[in-house]
Chain A
């Protein structure tokens, strides 16, 4: 069972902004551990999207941004595009369970 909770799904029209929350606790995000985000396109392996809460790897569009506050983190996608339709996972460290992933969020472009 995951200790990081995400909404099962979010949706938006092309060009809109959507956000995905990742809610943890005092033993993981709230303890100061970094949050990372991954995008998994249908039928493919996950891909690193955001690392260290707010940093984008080379090649990731600046439409994707991350933030962290307290026991939660968020991923924002602005200017939503059809190719952004995918599953998104947050990941952090938990003092009791070691590395942990979020429950995952499916983004649908309407």
Chain B
């Protein structure tokens, strides 16, 4: 059974940083691209970032480019999102999602974690 478990969210002040983690199990982690998607409270889904299987290629939404960094550790089966210079508009539930089909960053999100809430407020 595929499982994705996010952690690392919390309440931070504007300008601060966090590192989100997503522990994966139930599939060959190193064979699938992974992504982060966020959802502000009461609003719709926004794609944030994607990373390829090796970690050598990363892509970001314009709204987070230069502030967020996606990475992965295939030996630990873990996906990360370093979020810096946080703003109030970054407040959201952050989901990690597995990308299908295998070996592509262009596909769809076939499994999602339960999400971790990041709240940016002074």
Q: Which of the 9-residue segments A14-22, A75-83, A91-99 touches chain B?
A: A91-99
Sample of 10 A–B contacts (CB below 8 Å): A36-B109, A44-B114, A45-B112, A45-B114, A46-B45, A48-B110, A51-B108, A89-B45, A91-B109, A101-B44
Within 8 A of A (CB), among B34-60: 35, 37, 44-47, 50, 59
Total B residues in contact with A, Cβ cutoff 8 Å: 22
- The answer to whether B61 touches A91, judged by C-beta atoms less than 8 angstroms apart, is no
Secondary structure of the B contact surface, majority rule: strand
Closest B residue by C-beta to A51: B108
Closest B residue by C-beta to A103: B44
B32 interface contact, C-beta 8 A: no
Q: State in angstroms the CA–CA spacing of A45 and B38 once bound together.
A: 11
Q: Interface extent on A, as a size class?
A: 20 to 34
B107 proximity list for chain A (CB < 8 A): 51
Q: Of A2, A36, A45, A101, which one neighbours B113 at CB under 8 angstroms? A: A45
